[in-house]
Chain A
Amino acid sequence: MTERDKILGRIREALTISAPPPGEHGPETHHLAGHPIQFAPRPAATNAREWLPKVGETFEDQVAQFRACSDDLKTEFIVAESLADLPKILGDLRDRERWKQAAAHRSDLTDAAVQALGLPTLTVDGGYDVRALERCDVGITTCDALVAQTGTLVVTSRSSGGRALSVLPPHHLVIARRDQLVADLPAAFELIQQRYGADYPSMISLVTGPSRTGDIERILVLGAHGPKKLTVVMI
C-alpha cells in the first residue's frame, strides 16, 4: 500500500461521518455515522461577482477604475492613442529612468516597444543568461488581461516571456491593448480558462502593483525582491 493510498484511506474513513454545514453550531445532530446531511454548498466560483467590490459597466468607467487602483498601488498607467505614440512615450520613460539595457520577449507589441526604445535588448525566447537579464534595467512584456476591479495584470509564462522577465529586472514595462481590459477577477479567470483550456502555461500570475513589503514596522517599501517600478502602457 502506497502512502497515497494510506492517506486517502484515512480521509475516506474520516468522512464517513458528516460535518455540520458552515455557520451552524447547534445541537450535535449531524454526527451520526451513515447519515449524510443534505447540504448543497454554493461554489465561490459561480457568483463571486455579486459580493466583490463593484465595477463600472462602460469602458470609460473601467479605465477610470484601473487608473484609480494604479494610483493607490503606485503603478504608472499611461494610455496611448495608437502604436504611433510609443516612440514618444517610451523615449520619455527611457530618458527619465536612464535605461541603458532592456530585455523583452518577441511579440507584435513588445517588438514595437523595443523598436521605439532603441536600446540594446536581450531577447529571452528560447533561453537566456540569467546574469545578463539581472543586469537589464527594464523587462518588457505583454499580458493576457488588465483587471479594472483591482488594477491587476495577468501575465503567464507563455504570454509574457517566461517566469523571470516580469519579475527580475527592477522595472517592469507592460504593453497592452485596450481590448485586454476586463471588468473583474471572475472575468479574468473566465478568460484564462477560455484561452488555454487544459493546455495552460506552467505559470499564471496576477500582478497587482510593483513588488512591496511591510515587514519592517508595517511600513510600505516598494521593490522588495521584484520590480521597484511597474509601468502599464495601454494602446
Chain B
Amino acid sequence: MTTEVQEFKTQATKVVGDLRHRKLIQTALGKYEVARDKRKGAFQSWSEARQVAAETKWDAINHLDEHLVSFADKLEARGTKVHWATTAAQARDIILGIIQAKNAKCIIKSKAMTAEEIHLNAAMEKAGFEVVESDLGEYIVQLRQEPPYHIVFPAMHLTRHDISDLFEKHLGSAKTDSPEELTMIARRALREKYITADVGITGANFAIAETGMVSITENEGNARLTSALPKTMISLLGIEKVLPRMADLALFLPMLATAGAGQPLTCYNTLYGGPRQPGESDGPEEYHVVLLDNRRTELLADPEQRDALHCIRCGACLNVCPIFKNVGGHTYGTTYSGPIGSVITPHLRGLQNWKHLSYSSSLCGACTEACPVKINLHHHLLQNRRNSVQKEADPQEKLIFKLFAWAMNSPGLYGAGKSVARWFGPLHRLVMGTFLDPAKAWTKTRDLPPIAETTFKEYWKNRQ
C-alpha cells in the first residue's frame, strides 16, 4: 500500500466516526440543497441549459489552441503581460520573479485553487514575503495553517466557536458567537492589508477568448479590492478556463451561482481586460496573467476523459457526494477533492498513487447528475480503475481473480468449495470481527449473510 492510501484510510476512519463533523456538514449541505433546488426551479429549463453549457465548454476545450491564442493576444494588445507555465515550478518562478522585481513586501490574495495546486503561498513565504488570504474562509484556514476544506467553502468544517478562538489567538479579538461580529473582525484586519499590499494575486473562473478578459466570481468583494488597490495585479489560471464568447457568461454565471451555492447570481462577477487604462481613476499599473498547464495537456490527450477539463469548479459534485459527506474534504489529501478531484488527481499527480480515490465511490452517479456542464464523473472513476489495472495490476488481486475464474469454470471445484464454506460458515461467525477473523477488513463494517442450508442444485434435485 502506498502512503497516500494509508493516509486516506486512517483519515477516513477517523472522520467517519466524528459526529460533530457529520452534523456540521449535514447542516451546511442541507441548506445548500434547498437553496439550489429553488434556484434550479427558476430556470425555464435547467436540463437544456446544462446541455448547452456542456456543448459550449466542449467547443472551448476542443478548440483550446485557437481560444488561448485569441485570449492571450487580445490581453497583450491592451498592455497585459501574459506568461505561460508548463509546470507548477515554472509558474511559481514567474510569480516570484514579478514580485521580486517590484520590491514587494506584502502580497494580498483572493481565492485561487490554482495557487493551492502549485503551493504558491509556501513558496512566497519561503522567499520572505508576507502573504495574506483575503477571502474570509481562506483567511481562516490560512490562520489555522490548513489547506481549504472545500473548493468553494474553505472553512465549512469549523464552527463559529472554533473561529472565535482562532481570532482570539491570532488577532487578539474578544470572544464572540456572532458570525456577523466575526466577519467584521476579519474585515477590519484585512482593510489595512488591501491598502498597504504591493501586489494583488487572484485566480479566475473564466477566460474570455473573444475579448481577452479574465472573469472572477466572488461574494465578498475581496477580489474586487485585491484588483483595485495594489499597483501590480497577477491572475493565475489553468489553461482550461476558456469560454469562447463574452456573452456565454449570460448562461454560465447564473449556472455557476446556482450549482455552486444555490444563488441566482454571485454578488460580484467581474471582467478584467488589462491594467488601468488612460482616463481611468485607479487600478493597477501592471497586469500579469499566468497560464498554467501542469499536466492539463495530458488530460486533454485522453479523449475519453477530456470533458473533465470542462469543470467550472462550482463544487456541486462534492456537495452531493456520499463519500465526501462522510470522509470530509481534508481526507482526500489533494487540492481538488470530491468526485472531480478523484477523477483528475490521477492525471495531475500520477495514477498509481491516487487510484484509490476512484475506488472510494459508491458509483451512485449523484455527481454526474449534479454537474452543470455534464461531466461524466462516475464513468471516469470506472475508467480510472480500468486504466490502473491495465497499466499495473496488483499481483495478489490478479491471483485471487484467477482462482475465482478457475473455480467458477469447474463445477466440481465450485461444489467442493461450497461444502467447505458451509462447514466453515458457523465457525467464522464465532470469530467474526475479532482479530482472529481472516476477513476482518471486510466484516468490520459489513455483515455476512449466512449460507443457505440447501443449495439450489440440491433443491432442484429433490423437487424432481
Q: Tell me if A59 counts as interface (CB < 8 A to partner B).
A: no
Question: CB distance B248 to A45 under 8 Å?
Answer: yes
Instruction: Give the nearest-CB partner of A105 in chain B.
Output: B281
Contacting B at CB under 8 A, from A179-225, are 184-186, 188-190, 192-193, 198, 200-219, 221, 223-225
Choose the segment among A47-55, A81-89, A92-100, A113-121 that binds chain B (4+ C-beta atoms closer than 8 Å).
A47-55
User: Smallest Cβ distance from B114 to chain A, in angstroms?
Assistant: 15
Residues on A with beta carbons closer than 8 Å to the beta carbon of B243: 44
CA distance A18 to B61 in the complex (A): 11
- Say whether A186 contacts B250, CB under 8 Å: yes
Chain B 245-285 per-residue mask, 1 if CB under 8 angstroms from chain A, else 0: 11111111110000001001111111111111101111100
- Chain A residues contacting B69 (CB-CB under 8 Å) are 8
- Interface residues as binary, A133-173 with B (CB distance below 8 Å gives 1, 0 otherwise): 01000000000000000101000011001111101100000
| A23 interface hit (Cβ, 8 Å) | yes
B415 within 8 A of A: no
B458 → chain A closest CB, angstroms: 42
Q: Which of B130-138, B399-407, B417-425 is found at the contact surface with chain A?
A: B130-138
B246 touches A193 (CB 8 A): yes
Residues of A within 8 A of B84 (CB): 2-4, 6-7
Q: Which of B163, B213, B266, B297 has the most CB of A within 10 A?
A: B297
Closest to A197 in B: B211
- Residue of B with least CB distance to A186: B250
Set of chain A residues within 8 Å of B42, measured between Cβ atoms = 53
* Residues in A whose Cβ lies below 8 Å from that of B156: 218
Q: Give the distance to chain B from A2, nearest Cβ to Cβ, in Å.
A: 7
Q: Inside 8 A of B374's CB, which chain A residues have their CB?
A: 22-23
How far, in whole Å, are A63 and B194 apart by their CA atoms in the complex?
36
Q: Secondary structure at chain A's binding surface: helix, strand, loop or mixed?
A: loop
Bound-complex Cα distance A218 to B61 (A): 33
Asked if B280 and A162 make an inter-chain contact with CB atoms under 8 angstroms apart, the answer reads: yes
Q: Which segment, of B298-306, B345-353, B426-434, faces chain A?
A: B298-306
Answer whether residue B72 sits at the interface, using C-beta atoms and an 8 A cutoff.
Answer: yes
Complex contact B264–A162 (CB within 8 A)? no
Q: CB within 8 Å of A: which of B355-403?
A: 373-374, 376, 379
Is A157's CB under 8 angstroms from B52's CB?
A: no
B68 an interface residue at 8 Å Cβ cutoff? yes
Of A15, A21, A161, A162, chain B has the most CB atoms within 10 Å of the CB of A15
Contact A202 B283 (CB under 8 A): yes
A233 beta carbon closer than 8 Å to chain B: no
* B183-A221 in contact (CB<8A): yes
Contacts of A11 in B (CB 8 A): 64-65, 68, 239, 297, 300
Give complex CA distance A43, B55 in Å.
Answer: 7
Which residue of chain A has the shortest Cβ distance to B191 in the bound complex?
A: A134
Which residues of chain A have C-beta atoms less than 8 A from B28's C-beta? 217-218
How far apart are the CA atoms of A171 and B464 in the complex, in Å? 88
CB distance from B52 to the nearest CB of A (A): 5
CB–CB A51/B229 < 8 A: no
User: A208 CA to B217 CA in the complex, in Å?
Assistant: 11
Indicate whether A69 reaches chain B with its CB closer than 8 angstroms.
Answer: yes
Whether the pair A51, B251 counts as a contact (CB closer than 8 A) is yes
A14 with B268, Cβ < 8 A, contacts A45-B248, A202-B275, A223-B187 known: no
Among B46, B140, B267, B269, which residue has its beta carbon within 8 angstroms of that of A51?
B46
**A7 contacts B190, C-beta separation under 8 Å:** no
B195/A130 in contact, CB under 8 A:
yes
Bound: A41/B270 CA distance, A: 26
* B13 interface residue (CB < 8 Å to A): no
User: Once bound together, how far apart are the Cα atoms of A11 and B298, in whole Å?
Assistant: 9
Q: Mark B217-248, 1 if CB is under 8 A from A, else 0.
A: 00111101101110000000001000111111
Whole-angstrom distance between the alpha carbons of A125 and B53 in the complex?
A: 40
Residue in B61, B86, B195, B245 whose beta carbon sits within 8 Å of that of A6 in the complex: B86
- A34 interface residue, CB < 8 Å from B? no
Q: CB distance B43 to A157 under 8 Å?
A: no
Tell me if B129 counts as interface (CB < 8 A to partner A).
no
A41 to B211, CA, bound (A): 20
Q: Which residues of chain B are near A44, meaning CB under 8 Å?
A: 52-53, 55-56, 243, 245, 247-248, 250-252
| Among candidates B45, B245, B282, residue contacting A162 with C-beta atoms closer than 8 Å | B282
Q: Would you give the shortest CB distance from B283 to chain A, in whole angstroms?
A: 5
Partner of A3, one of B52, B86, B137, B184: B86
Q: Cβ of B57 < 8 Å from any Cβ of A?
A: yes
Is B225 touching A225 in the complex (CB atoms < 8 A)? yes
- Are A226 and B221 closer than 8 Å at their CB atoms? yes
**Other-chain residue from B32, B224, B245, B247 in contact with A218 (beta carbon distance below 8 A):** B32
Q: Does the CB pair B190–A216 fall under 8 Å? A: no
**Distance of A184 Cα from B250 Cα, bound (Å):** 9
Min CB–CB distance B439 → chain A (angstroms): 35
B3 at the A interface (CB under 8 A):
no
Beyond the given pairs A11-B239, A48-B52, A168-B225, 5 more chain A to chain B contacts, judged by CB atoms under 8 angstroms and listed by A's residue number, are: A19-B306, A50-B45, A52-B49, A205-B224, A213-B136
10 A-B residue pairs with Cβ-Cβ distance under 8 Å, sorted by A, are A11-B297, A48-B250, A53-B264, A185-B251, A189-B247, A193-B246, A212-B267, A215-B154, A216-B182, A224-B136
| Chain A interface (Cβ < 8 Å from any Cβ of B) | 2-4, 6-8, 10-15, 17-23, 25, 28, 30-31, 39, 41-45, 47-54, 69, 72, 105, 124-128, 130-131, 134, 150, 152, 157-158, 161-165, 167-168, 184-186, 188-190, 192-193, 198, 200-219, 221, 223-227
